[in-house]
Amino acid sequence: MKAKRISLAALLIIVLVAIDQLTKYLVVKNMIPYSDEIKLIGDDLVLYYIKNTGAAWGSFNKNTMLLAGVSVVMIIFLGYLFFKNIDRDDRKLLRLFTVITIGGAIGNLIDRIRLNYVVDFIYAKFIDFPVFNFADICVTVSAFILVFLAIFIYKDDEEEQNKSKKNTENDKKIDNVNETKKDDAE
């Protein structure tokens, strides 16, 4: 079961990274940065190729290697989270969205290392949202779902585990007290 879960996770990561890199390749080969605009839904949603040396909204501009380092740390942490929960059947969603986040993070990490910038090309003009890409969707949506799961779904699991540990410790203390009383009575 463990090997199957690892294989499926690796396959999903490969597929997500391939989709991300293929879409970016097509944009780079067919569009001029900061110039071409291809309308997808009127003027509201367009393809517009930019070379992003920072993160969303222009933050961390020209800090590509810092962002690459943060990505590596995030991938390692998410990998740990995946393997920590690999045997838990009740954590399928956590494993799934952890893997999707890893796939997106790897997609952008490849750009940062290979190009020293990230290829962004999806622009929601109707809300003037920063230009983004497929990997950004994977990371953002999955991270949001992971936070939701942690706050609303798995929170009770942790509390239940803590109660269970406390009950086990209390049961051991009671057993020790009973054994001591038994020894004193003899």
3-state secondary structure 131-153: CECHHHHHHHHHHHHHHHHHHHH
Strands of the sheet containing 38-41, edge to edge, are 38-41, 45-52, 118-124
Q: Is the pLDDT of residue 186 over 70?
A: no
135 vs 59, residue with greater confidence: 135
Structure-token pair, residue 152 = 């609303």
Q: Is 136 a catalytic residue?
A: yes
CB atoms near residue 148 (< 10 Å): 13
Q: What is the pLDDT of residue 5?
A: 96
Supply the mean pLDDT for the chain. Answer: 89
Q: Which of 20, 43, 90, 136 is catalytic?
A: 136
Give the mean model confidence (pLDDT) for residues 46-55.
92
Give the span between the Cα atoms of 9 and 82, in whole angstroms. 9
- Give the pLDDT band of residue 154 (cuts 50, 70, 90): confident
Q: What does the pLDDT read at residue 20? A: 98
Average pLDDT estimate for 38-52: 95
Phi and psi of 39, rounded to 5°?
-75, 130
pLDDT score at 54: 83
Under 8 Å between Cβ of 108 and 52: no
Kindly indicate the confidence band of residue 167, based on its pLDDT and cuts at 50, 70 and 90: low
pLDDT at 152 over 80: yes
* pLDDT of 139 above 80: yes
Mean per-residue pLDDT, 19-34: 97
Q: How confident is the model at residue 61 (pLDDT cuts 50, 70, 90)?
A: confident
- 183 has pLDDT over 70: no
**At what angle are helices 92-115 and 64-84 packed, to 10 degrees?**
160
* Residue 157 appears among annotated catalytic residues: no
Which residue of the set 120, 171, 175, 183 is catalytic? 120
pLDDT at position 163 is: 60
Note the pTM of the prediction, 2 decimals.
0.81
Q: Which helix (H) or strand (E) holds 19?
A: helix 2-30
Residue 75 gets which letter from DSSP?
A: H
Instruction: Tell me the CA distances in angstroms from 135 to 14, 19, 104, 117, one per residue in order.
Output: 12, 9, 4, 14
The token pair that represents 86 in the structure block? 């690999």
